[in-house]
Structure 1
């Protein structure tokens, strides 16, 4: 994994009474481009004062980046030594002890499973064995049937802070909320450093700590799912979490049909009803979970989002825009 770049890009804006300074720190994590933005309103504009402020922002950002990397190392399904790697390797063999953080995330996964009617199932990651979105090749129905037989969160044994996957070949995958959780945890680190203005952006999963130093909302551009170099809408947000799921992040097209990386856990086939769903919620973890469940709910998505009480902007398979914001 590439090291975080330690360069800050400083923007200064004159206001009627002070200077608004915004520092941007770019880095790579969780297989995506990431950014931490920290803003201050200052009255001293001397070189020494600016240098001190930049150093403070950089120190805060590095602590937040370290937290993102900690979570990535701890829960990556690609690392055999990670918590998830150890649990998956023990499938069908023995239960594994969990620390308090992991147990809390497993409880959250159980909540998502129940609230989604079983659609949000963190044992569904096994379906990546059938789908390689770098190649336009369809899996056989037999392959999907075999893999779907390994998807069953309700069959896991969880007690005394231990978890046991009862069948060899079963896996856990925190990919459905791991990045969003990292954004929220990085924001907590920044808040502990007295950062009040700015946001954490992990590949489009965003946690906003507070408005700009001039109290204006941040404007977040929403990517057009069919013209990825264009913005289809802009959302103003002062604080809270924002996340987007869509059929354009990893996909292939074959015979005029698009196959995306969001795969239904019961059929093994990619969902088709929505091009993208963006949700705003108090936490990025909640926003991301709602977008994923919404994609899986397909035609029942909007009813679910209304019941969840979140703001959203969604684009269906015909290109029609639906919003509640």
Structure 2
């Protein structure tokens, strides 16, 4: 453990050890700290890497509860790394890889995978086909690295026949009390599934839910508040233990690390969608990484960032993504939801 004390601020740190079998992507070991600027703002902070983001779990507990905080931290890391590996399109030997090895055949789905596909299917229907988990294949010709390199129209056109949620088939599980049938999927040859648009928000909700369950079983009488923050996608269990709200910043587009707004969160979740870090710029025109799966080209007039407050991070992520895909019509959709939102154009 490392301890510091500078100008009244104290910090204790522990590097956590995760077994290799629970770290299939080979991430650095996570770090758990106890931070105390003063008695009212003391608490534990877990930090680790996953899903191309810095992930955090804030645990509002006294320093005497190191063992409980470590339990919560280890569970959060293991679950996040499990979800990341299972649905990653960049790994081999995982669920995602095995599904794509069986293209052209009906295959059974586990309950978790079926739920995520059902959620993505709902988004596809609500967006009139603009949110499509089969559109990830467009990454083969689009590289949103801030340069001016656009793909040739012919390159994009060759991928369009392999995009379209309506081209894949899937069924929900069935159970009539006598016979049961698992959910099934038929993925045509040449097509891909991409869970990047739903995976991080799902992981946030899972970690918060599992953390609350662990608290209830291990220490039901201990007052503890939690906040999960995975790269700006956030969910909390309620206000802090002292009754004060969590303070959450919304990053300003094109000003990494700079806040455009500071919000007070006492419950529910915040999810942000935007293109501040991924775009192309050619002859003064900015091309957003938000691609229209029907054309293969970026959404026109997309706003830069949308943050939505919702009961769960998955719901907030869905609404913010659907709004971004509307281009200039983003705010019209947001107003119809009745949810609080923050829209940044520049």
TM-score bracket, normalised by the shorter chain, equals 0.7 to 0.9
The Cα offsets for residues 291-325 of structure 1, whole Å up to 9 and x where unpaired, read as 11111111221222222232110023xx4xxxxxx
Equivalent position to 1:107, from 97, 118, 122: 118
What runs of 5+ residues in structure 2 fail to find an aligned partner? 1-25, 172-181, 216-222
SS at 2:203 equivalent: helix
SS at 1:266 equivalent: coil
Q: Distance in 2 between matches of 1:252 and 1:11?
A: 42
The Cα offsets for residues 152-172 of structure 1, whole Å up to 9 and x where unpaired, read as 101211135110112x22100
The Cα offsets for residues 218-251 of structure 1, whole Å up to 9 and x where unpaired, read as 1111111022232111111111111111121222
Equivalent position to 2:260, from 211, 232, 236: 232
Alignment map for 1:280-291 (pairs within 5 Å): 280-291=309-320
Q: How many residues align?
A: 302
**Mean Cα displacement is larger for which, 145-154 or 177-186?**
145-154
Is 2:261 aligned against 1:268? Answer: no
What runs of 5+ residues in structure 1 fail to find an aligned partner? 43-49, 320-325
Structure 1 counterpart of 2:31: 6
Structure 1 counterpart of 2:10: none
Structure 2 counterpart of 1:305: 334
Is 2:174 aligned against 1:163? Answer: no
**Mean Cα displacement is larger for which, 182-191 or 220-229?**
220-229
Q: Does the 8 Å contact 1:294/1:301 carry over to 2?
A: yes
Alignment map for 1:96-135 (pairs within 5 Å): 96-134=107-145, 135=147
The CA deviation at 1:196 is 4.0
The CA deviation at 1:12 is 5.1
Is 2:204 aligned against 1:183? Answer: yes
Q: Does the 8 Å contact 2:288/2:302 carry over to 1?
A: no
**Mean Cα displacement is larger for which, 278-287 or 242-251?**
242-251
Q: Distance in 2 between matches of 1:254 and 1:222?
A: 28
Q: Which runs of 4+ in 1 moved over 4 A?
A: none
Q: Distance in 2 between matches of 1:229 and 1:106?
A: 33
Q: Does the 8 Å contact 1:247/1:260 carry over to 2?
A: yes
Is 2:323 aligned against 1:294? Answer: yes
Alignment map for 1:29-178 (pairs within 5 Å): 29-40=50-61, 50=63, 52-91=64-103, 93-134=104-145, 135-159=147-171, 161-166=183-188, 168-178=189-199
The Cα offsets for residues 50-72 of structure 1, whole Å up to 9 and x where unpaired, read as 3x412211211110111111111
Q: Does the 8 Å contact 1:183/1:202 carry over to 2?
A: yes
- Give the superposed CA RMSD: 1.7
Q: Does the 8 Å contact 1:180/1:205 carry over to 2?
A: yes
- The two structures have a TM-score, normalised by structure 2, of 0.83
The Cα offsets for residues 34-80 of structure 1, whole Å up to 9 and x where unpaired, read as 1111003x5xxxxxxx3x41221121111011111111111111123
Q: Distance in 1 between matches of 2:150 and 2:34?
A: 44
Equivalent position to 2:240, from 209, 212, 215: 212
The CA deviation at 1:262 is 1.8
The CA deviation at 1:141 is 0.9
Residues 39 and 171 (structure 1), Cα distance of their counterparts in 2 relative to 1, 3 Å cut: same
- The two structures have a TM-score, normalised by structure 1, of 0.88
